[in-house]
């Protein structure tokens, strides 16, 4: 029998790139801030080691633009921003989520 926690983890793994794109729609941000925003949305406690590979993959796919910010005090930080391709992926993700949600919210006949 699959537990609720196992389902949560499986869904979360699949949805994290979409969650990152959703957070990035709020504007350019560095990785740690993305992690904070994902956590604020109650998507579970994620370690930086979970978010940073997703940011790199999204940048490699051309969905995020990554640039070093050396203007603020302290060490340089990589700042990410959605590209036009990232905005398109976010729109596709929203449509896919709506379809999946509708498919999973069915009711048995006679209920």
Per-residue pLDDT for the chain (111 aa), expressed as one digit of tens each?
A: 566 667 767 777 788 899 999 999 999 999 989 988 888 876 665 677 888 999 999 999 999 999 998 887 888 899 999 999 999 999 999 999 899 888 888 766 544
| Per-residue model confidence (pLDDT) at position 44 | 64
| Per-residue model confidence (pLDDT) at position 58 | 97
Residue 102 lies in a domain: no
| Per-residue model confidence (pLDDT) at position 70 | 84
Can you read off the two tokens belonging to residue 21? 């794109």
| Per-residue model confidence (pLDDT) at position 14 | 80
User: Do the Cβ atoms of 29 and 80 come closer than 8 Å?
Assistant: yes
Residue 3 lies in a domain: no
Range of the domain at 37: 15-93
| Per-residue model confidence (pLDDT) at position 2 | 61
> What would you measure as the largest C-alpha separation in the chain, in angstroms?
64
pTM of the model: 0.80
Residue 71 lies in a domain: yes
CA torsion, ordered 60, 12, 34, 53, to nearest 10 deg: -30
Classify strands 64-69 and 29-30 as parallel, antiparallel or unpaired: unpaired
| Per-residue model confidence (pLDDT) at position 62 | 97
11-37 b/e with 16+ CB inside 10 Å = b?
eeeeebbbbbbbbbeeeebbbebbbeb
3-state secondary structure of 67: strand
Residue 53 lies in a domain: yes
| Per-residue model confidence (pLDDT) at position 20 | 93
Quick count: other Cβ atoms within 10 Å of Cβ 60? Answer: 10
CATH number for the domain including 48? 1.10.10.10
- The total number of structural domains in the chain stands at 1
Residue 91 has phi, psi (to 5 degrees) of -60, -45
């Amino acid at each position: 029998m699959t537990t609720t926690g196992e389902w949560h983890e499986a869904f979360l793994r699949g949805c994290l790139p979409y969650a990152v794109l959703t957070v990035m729609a709020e504007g350019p941000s560095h990785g740690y801030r993305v992690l904070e925003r994902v956590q604020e949305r109650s998507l579970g406690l994620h370690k930086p080691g979970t978010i940073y590979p997703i940011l790199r993959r999204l940048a490699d796919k051309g969905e995020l633009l990554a640039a070093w910010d050396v203007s603020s005090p302290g060490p340089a930080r990589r700042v990410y921003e959605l590209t036009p391709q990232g905005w398109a992926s976010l729109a596709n993700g929203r449509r896919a989520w709506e379809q999946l949600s509708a498919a999973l919210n069915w009711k048995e006949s006679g209920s």
